[in-house]
Chains A and B, each alone.
Chain A
Amino acid sequence: MHDVHDVEEAERMGRKRSQIFFVLAIVFFAGQSAYFASSPATRDSHARMGAWIILVFLIMMLLATGGFLFRGRNVRDLLNDETSRLNRLASQALGFWVTIVTALAVYIESIFDPLTLNEGLHIIVTLGVGAALISFAMRERRAHRIG
């Protein structure tokens, strides 16, 4: 049995999590739009690619754990209860399908207009991870608004 205080804290953190994930997804997509808008000569600097890899890794960790940064085991368990786990699984499945469809689209595109390996992987990973993150954020926001 949990404490009511933990439930209320998890409620507050859960709402905050869905908002943070939503904003993170928008920032992530906006950053990648800027990346593709820049010239290929300056696009693939080590700093830019390093920042992208770190952000992708962070998002993947957030999606895999539901928020490994949250403190307190009780609250973390409540934050990742049945509905959140289901929302996370559905979002991961969506991310998988977006990744596959994007990979196919990139493959077809490369027949007509060759892409570098970096460009192709960047597009595939960005859309796959971003779609999963935004899907989870929206599912959680919707669940919090019901009632």
Chain B
Amino acid sequence: MNRLREARDHKGWTQAELAARVGVSRKTINTVENRVFTPSATLAIKLAKALGMSVEELFWIEP
């Protein structure tokens, strides 16, 4: 589970802007937001850093 869309919206960024900041395609941001694709630890850290959050705030596992 993740709150990527909410965090991105809060920053006022488009998917393409966030994608450019972390160096991935818009498709990757879109599939992560829609919970179709689980990102690697490296990408999760990059996303959290770009959004000014910790990885645990951005991603979590449903009990």
In the complex, what residue of chain A is closest to B42 when comparing beta carbons? A82
Residues of A within 8 A of B26 (CB): 7-8, 10-11
CA distance A4 to B25 in the complex (A): 10
CA distance A6 to B28 in the complex (A): 14
Indicate if the CB atoms of A4 and B17 lie closer than 8 Å.
yes
Indicate if the CB atoms of A1 and B23 lie closer than 8 Å.
yes
Question: Quick one: given A2-B23, A84-B25, A146-B36, are A11 and B31 in contact (CB under 8 Å)?
Answer: no
CA distance A133 to B29 in the complex (A): 24
Q: How many A-B residue pairs have CB under 8 A?
A: 67
- Residues on B facing A (Cβ under 8 Å): 14, 16-17, 19-21, 23-28, 30-31, 33-34, 36-37, 39-40, 43
Interface size class of A (residues with CB under 8 A): 20 to 34
CA distance A77 to B16 in the complex (A): 15
In the complex, what residue of chain A is closest to B19 when comparing beta carbons? A7
Indicate if the CB atoms of B25 and A11 lie closer than 8 Å.
yes
Majority DSSP secondary structure for residues of B touching A: helix
Give chain A nearest CB distance to B6 CB in angstroms: 15
CA distance A4 to B40 in the complex (A): 22
In the complex, what residue of chain B is closest to A11 when comparing beta carbons? B26
A113 at interface, CB cutoff 8 A = no
Indicate if the CB atoms of B30 and A147 lie closer than 8 Å.
yes
Question: Quick one: given A14-B27, A83-B25, A143-B27, are A6 and B20 in contact (CB under 8 Å)?
Answer: yes
Residues of B within 8 A of A84 (CB): 25, 27
CA distance A4 to B39 in the complex (A): 21
B39 interface neighbour in A7, A10, A82, A147, Cβ under 8 Å: A82
Residues of B within 8 A of A83 (CB): 24-25, 27-28, 31, 37
Give chain B nearest CB distance to A63 CB in angstroms: 18
Residues of A within 8 A of B28 (CB): 81-83
Indicate if the CB atoms of A8 and B16 lie closer than 8 Å.
yes
B23 interface neighbour in A78, A79, A86, A147, Cβ under 8 Å: A78
